[in-house]
Amino acid sequence: MTTLDDCRALDAQDPLRPLRDHFLLPEGVIYLDGNSLGVMPRAAPARIADVVAREWGTDLIRSWNDARWFDLPQRLGDQLAPLIGAGAGEVVCTDSTSVNLYKVLSAALNIAREDAPARRRVVSERSNFPTDLYIAEGLCRERGLELVLVEPEDIAAALTGDVAVLMLTHVNYRTGAMHNMAAVTADAHARGILCVWDLAHSAGAVPVDLRGAQADFSIGCGYKYLNGGPGAPAFAWVHPRHADRFWQPLSGWWGHAAPFAFTPGYQPAQGIARYLCGTQPIISLSALQCGLDVFTAAGPLGGMAALRAKSLALTDLFIRLVEERCAGHGLGLATPRGHAQRGSQVCLTRDEGQGVDGRGSGAYAIVQALIARGVIGDFRKGDGGQGPHKDILRFGFTPLYLGHEDVWNAVEHLRTVLESGEWRRPEFNQQHAVT
């Protein structure tokens, strides 16, 4: 059996421990929701204050040049690139994940339309992150294409000769299950299908090798594992073989070949600048830089490989402790045990009918009771027994700032909440409008 002392010993030996000091962690909180909104880097308040007071307040319009606002999307992209197996000059940080997905999916469909006009389908997973499906649905509706949604085990069979694009999220937001990007991409390519990968739950969480996998297009999120701040701009990557064929209808001024010539006709810039559209929120973009700086600091400590090893150690530990210490309370495991199939989160299930008075699963109330104790995870609703998806208690593990003792303490809170029946209290069973 693992003990608290074991956990402390592991933390004492942890070479990544100094990275925790790069963050301001709120007092009394064990934050297991970095896959929803990452915590604040310690450098962020001063950096943002400088952007506001000096770059905006004092230097004003001159900051386009002097503070290099103009190439900030590319500079941040270059800083992010090593985390996802991209080269320099291949990534931009800009817009939202949804808007970037629209761009790259449009571009992929434009290439497919030229090269294989008979291919009229986009395939994705039914349990992909909903906004990805909504964007694909909007685009398919606009173009008269068909969006085909399948279960993960049916993806290979769905890759038929009429498919233009396979659009997947690398790590599933509900379960933490991870695709084998290289194998899936190779399979799709062998059938003439382009691959779009969403790295929302991968960038900064697991090693990604977009170039190694020969992926075609990719996008991802700045405010989860990259700790870029609430609603931080997202990113987009395009394999260099497609860069100069990249065409998308969000053709705004910042993607123009001569953005300050103010000519009436659109000429896309060479290379990645053409993935840009309108003027970017510079203050939020600067906050993202603080998040990326921590990964730069992690480089000499082993970078993504070391972070991955620690992430797996933490999620292994969490699974083991839950199974050892919280047995008999109806929890199941939604996240794969195999390391190659797991992202940086652990999702527990609870069956329908285990809630208060047999109504619902009680998972929502357990998450609320944990939050009241300062253990912040989140709840993802299942299909209420109507389908295969159970209610989920979701816990993200960010190796940059979490330790083994945090995991121990989180599980102890979970055990107490379950054993004491604390989760049955009425205040934890009233579902809030938002969350």
Contacts to a second copy from residues 28-57, by CB under 8 A:
29, 31, 33, 36-37, 39-40, 44-45, 48-49, 52-53, 55-57
Spell out, one character per residue from 324 to 363, where the chain touches a second copy: x when CB under 8 A holds, - when not.
----------------------------------------
Span near a second copy by CB under 8 A; candidates 177-185, 202-210, 256-264, 419-427:
256-264
The verdict on 135 binding a second copy (CB under 8 A) reads: yes
Q: Using CA atoms of 265, 268, 270, 271 in order, give the dihedral in degrees to the nearest 10.
A: 170
171 - beta bridge partners? 178
By beta-carbon proximity to a second copy, the closer residue of 20 and 64 is 64
The verdict on 126 binding a second copy (CB under 8 A) reads: yes
Q: Which of 239, 256, 373, 394 binds a second copy (CB under 8 A)?
A: 256
CA distance 100 to 97: 5
CA distance 228 to 238: 21
The verdict on 102 binding a second copy (CB under 8 A) reads: yes
The verdict on 429 binding a second copy (CB under 8 A) reads: no
Would residue 262 show up in a list of annotated catalytic residues for this protein?
A: no
Is 379 marked within a binding site?
A: no
Q: Which of 133, 168, 272, 369 binds a second copy (CB under 8 A)?
A: 133
Is 201 marked within a binding site?
A: yes
Is 279 marked within a binding site?
A: yes
Active-site residue (options: 23, 31, 102, 129):
129
Residues sharing a CB contact under 8 Å with residue 244, sequence separation 6 or more, in sequence order: 270, 271
Task: Please work out the total of residues on this chain that contact a second copy, with binding judged by CB under 8 A.
Answer: 90
Q: How many CA atoms lie within 13 A of 353 on its CB side?
A: 3
Q: Judge contact between 286 and 108, C-beta under 8 A.
A: no
How many other β-carbons are positioned within 10 Å of the β-carbon of residue 340? 7
Is 364 marked within a binding site?
A: no
Q: Minimum distance from CB of 435 to a second copy (Å)?
A: 6
Would residue 394 show up in a list of annotated catalytic residues for this protein?
A: yes
Is 179 marked within a binding site?
A: no
Active-site residue (options: 103, 310, 373, 394):
394
User: What are the two backbone dihedrals, phi and then psi, of residue 46, each rounded to the nearest 5 degrees?
Assistant: -70, -40
Please give the angle made by the CA atoms of 44, 49 and 55, to the nearest 5 degrees.
115
Residues sharing a CB contact under 8 Å with residue 71, sequence separation 6 or more, in sequence order: none
> Is residue 375 classed as helix, strand or coil in its secondary structure?
strand
Is 132 marked within a binding site?
A: yes
Would residue 173 show up in a list of annotated catalytic residues for this protein?
A: no
Q: Minimum distance from CB of 79 to a second copy (Å)?
A: 18
> Is residue 15 classed as helix, strand or coil in its secondary structure?
coil
Q: Which of 278, 353, 385, 421 binds a second copy (CB under 8 A)?
A: 278
By beta-carbon proximity to a second copy, the closer residue of 281 and 332 is 281
The verdict on 148 binding a second copy (CB under 8 A) reads: no
Q: Which of 96, 214, 409, 416 binds a second copy (CB under 8 A)?
A: 96
Active-site residue (options: 223, 318, 364, 379):
223
Q: Judge contact between 95 and 119, C-beta under 8 A.
A: no
Span near a second copy by CB under 8 A; candidates 25-33, 83-91, 186-194, 309-317:
25-33
Q: Judge contact between 318 and 310, C-beta under 8 A.
A: no
Cβ burial, residue 303 (10 Å; 0-12/13-18/19+): middle
Q: How many CA atoms lie within 13 A of 169 on its CB side?
A: 29
Q: Cα 201 from chain centroid?
A: 3
Query: First CA to last CA across the chain, in angstroms?
Result: 36
The verdict on 421 binding a second copy (CB under 8 A) reads: no
The verdict on 251 binding a second copy (CB under 8 A) reads: yes
CA distance 20 to 406: 12
By beta-carbon proximity to a second copy, the closer residue of 250 and 309 is 250
List the interface residues with a second copy, window 178-237 (CB under 8 A): 223, 229-234
User: What are the two backbone dihedrals, phi and then psi, of residue 206, each rounded to the nearest 5 degrees?
Assistant: -140, 155
Is 97 marked within a binding site?
A: yes
Span near a second copy by CB under 8 A; candidates 22-30, 162-170, 307-315, 402-410:
22-30
Spell out, one character per residue from 292 to 321, where the chain touches a second copy: x when CB under 8 A holds, - when not.
------------------------------
> Is residue 342 classed as helix, strand or coil in its secondary structure?
strand
Spell out, one character per residue from 75 to 94, where the chain touches a second copy: x when CB under 8 A holds, - when not.
--------------------
Residues sharing a CB contact under 8 Å with residue 113, sequence separation 6 or more, in sequence order: 164
Q: Judge contact between 168 and 196, C-beta under 8 A.
A: yes
Is 130 marked within a binding site?
A: yes
Q: Which of 11, 16, 85, 97 binds a second copy (CB under 8 A)?
A: 97
CA distance 12 to 358: 44
Active site residues: 129, 198, 223-224, 394
Q: Which residues are annotated as a binding site for pyridoxal 5'-phosphate?
A: 97-98, 129-132, 169, 198, 201, 223, 253, 279
